[in-house]
Amino acid sequence: MFNIDRTLLNPNILVTIRFTPILHEWLHKRAEQENISLNQMVLLCCKYVMDEENASKAQKEIGDSDR
């Protein structure tokens, strides 16, 4: 289950994104399961990837400083 991140509330930049049918269906189903909007689902997925990337960079920096 996704946690609602307060930093993602009230998005105000309008962007058009095209999805493949499979990805759209998965996102739509997951959004319904989590009782959130499709837009919120997409934001959460993007935030998850951003957090993972930042954690990976931080881990790499820690590893580099141990040398």
**d(Cα 44, Cα 31) in Å, to the nearest integer?**
10
Question: 6 or 52: which carries more pLDDT confidence?
Answer: 52
Number of domains in the chain: 1
Range(s) of the domain holding residue 66: 43-67
Is the pLDDT reported for residue 62 higher than 90?
no
Is the pLDDT reported for residue 18 higher than 70?
yes
Domain membership flag for residue 67: yes
pTM for the model? 0.76
Structure tokens at 51: 């957090």
Secondary structure percentages of the chain, helix, strand, coil, to 5: 65, 0, 35
Helix (H, G, I), strand (E, B) or coil at 37: coil
Domain membership flag for residue 11: no
Q: What is the pLDDT of residue 63?
A: 80
